[in-house]
Amino acid sequence: MKTSSASSNETLTEAGIGNFQNAVQEMVSSESFIKGIQSALFTSSFIENFSKSIVTSTTFVQSITQLVDQKVQHHDNKIKILENENGQLKKRLTALESKVNDIEQYHKRRDLIITGIPEAPNENTTSIIIQLANDLGMNLNEKDIYASHRLPSKGKIKPIIVGFIRYNDRNNFIPRRRQLKTIAGCEKIYVNEHLTQSNSSLFYYAKQNLSKLTVYKKR
């Protein structure tokens, strides 16, 4: 008899649990319950409080900090790589510019620029240079000069550029230029090397900022 009673109680208990589960399932599945949950979740106060709890949590702050640190470190590394590459490119560019300047200056090594000679109609600049050389005690003729002409200039008198066949003739001309001050009509004539734009700027800067005793041009 006791066994039968215990079995009946267990059956009733299971039935009660089953009924409770069904009732809960029915309640949870009901449209009104779902709307109630949705209404509670989507209220501004709930969202605000939920957001604050997330944002102020230690885990969230640590995660964001770690993420930012990783991004910053990544960009720092990229910047260092780019700076290094930029530095290497600048060195190469400087070396190339220097090499090009040297080549350009080498091609001008036999040239001189002469300023202060007044222009004349139908003039022959080569004949003018030969006469000037003769006045300085040099024995030159047209075969010693491969080209000569006036250069564009903002000044009233355009300078003459002259190219010598022989490098030695050009070099012999330079030290004699000081004699121009002693020759009548040649006092305002100046003879200078044909420098590249870079070398010309450097020489001008040196003349403006250094002592005259320390400024000279390599022949």
> What CATH number did the domain enclosing 196 receive?
3.30.70.330
List beta partners, residue 112: 162, 193
Shared-domain flag, residues 133 and 206: yes
Whether 146 is covered by a domain: the verdict is yes
Task: Output the six-digit token pair for 77.
Answer: 């590394």
Instruction: Note down the domain range covering 207.
Output: 110-214
Whether 101 is covered by a domain: the verdict is yes
Whether 210 is covered by a domain: the verdict is yes
Domain boundary among 55, 71, 89: 55
Q: 7: closest CA among 22, 15, 20?
A: 15
Whether 75 is covered by a domain: the verdict is yes
Shared-domain flag, residues 150 and 79: no
- pTM score: 0.60
d(CA 151, CA 128): 15
Shared-domain flag, residues 102 and 163: no
d(CA 93, CA 198): 15
Whether 219 is covered by a domain: the verdict is no
Number of domains, the chain: 3
d(CA 105, CA 97): 12
Shared-domain flag, residues 85 and 150: no
Sequential pLDDT tens for the chain (219 residues): 445 555 555 555 666 666 666 666 766 566 666 666 666 666 667 667 777 777 677 777 788 788 888 888 999 999 999 999 999 999 999 999 999 999 999 999 999 999 999 999 999 999 999 999 999 999 999 999 999 999 998 878 999 999 999 999 999 999 999 999 888 888 999 999 999 999 989 888 888 887 665 555 555
Shared-domain flag, residues 89 and 41: no
Shared-domain flag, residues 149 and 180: yes
Q: Which residues contact 161 (CB under 8 A, 6 or more apart)?
A: 111, 112, 113, 114, 147, 148, 149, 150, 151, 194
Shared-domain flag, residues 204 and 140: yes
